[in-house]
Amino acid sequence: MNWRAVWAIFSYEMKRFFRTLGQSLFSPVISTVLYFVVFGAAIGSRIQEIEGVSYGAFIVPGLIILSLLTQSISNASFGIYFPRFSGTIYEFLAAPVSAAEMIFGFVGAAAAKSILIGLIILATSALFVPLSIAHPFWMIGFMVLTAVTFSLFGFMIGLWADGFEKLQIIPLLVITPLTFLGGSFYSINVLPPVWQTVSLFNPVVYLVSGFRWSFNEVADVSVMVSLGMTLFFLVTCMAIVAWMFRTGYRLKN
């Protein structure tokens, strides 16, 4: 493994992130705070508690997961798409850099950015509601796994897209609705039995449930099931990205 090459790609992506802090950092944080204020004021005044947890504290893990998903996908997809768009991708392919090293660099940077944003949102949320983290190591673990998994997913989108508009299709039309319907702002246990069953086919439910359990030990599904499903998504995304590089899909044509 050429760690110097990995670090070069990683540091370049992180420098681009810090050059555009207004768009890369402040914008998602402000958007999430607005979500928190609106949902906390509009719904929190009517729903005092969910499963013994105040509504404000209950939605914090969902807001962080929402931010992790959107930012991981956005950062990773743009990070690999722009070299393809500008033609500099051929410099990576011609350089003595393996596919694994490129993936480590781009995906690692995208995951690091989204984790940083998630931690800042967590700190900001503590200003609005009292938070307690029952299992901090589990929280960090779920955060890292989610960020890496969806950075890989965003990497796939960046390789697949042949235009800037396609970078936003899946995040806007698929990921965001799944996140809102995945128990980010409510427990699926309040749904009718039929819709509870339907919700279990939503992969975001397992991410939110496991992450929320690490805060207050409240979960819609078993934490081990959540961990297993998260690892399954991670392995699946890794396999697809490896296939894309092995076949040269949208890279060599």
Q: Give the model confidence (pLDDT) of 203-217 as tens digits.
A: 899 999 999 999 988
> Tell me, what DSSP letter sits at residue 191?
S
Which carries the bigger pLDDT value, residue 103 or residue 39?
A: 103
Domain residue ranges of the chain, discontinuous segments joined by +? 3-247
Provide the whole-model pTM: 0.88
pLDDT band at 187 (very low <50, low <70, confident <90, very high): confident
Q: At what angle do helices 136-160 and 99-125 cross, to 10 degrees?
A: 130
In degrees to the nearest 10, what's the CA dihedral of 22, 26, 28, 34?
Answer: -130
Asked whether the predicted pLDDT for residue 148 surpasses 90, the reply is yes
Asked whether the predicted pLDDT for residue 9 surpasses 80, the reply is yes
Q: Give the model confidence (pLDDT) of 59-70 as tens digits.
A: 888 888 888 888
Longest dimension (CA), the chain: 60
CB 142 within 8 A of CB 210: yes
As a whole number of angstroms, the distance between CA 123 and CA 120 comes to: 5
Q: Mean pLDDT over residues 8-32, rounded?
A: 76
User: What is the average pLDDT value for the chain, to the nearest integer?
Assistant: 83
Asked whether the predicted pLDDT for residue 248 surpasses 80, the reply is no
| Percent of the chain predicted with pLDDT > 90 | 17
Residue 63 has what pLDDT? 86
Asked whether the predicted pLDDT for residue 34 surpasses 80, the reply is no
Residue 145 has what pLDDT? 93
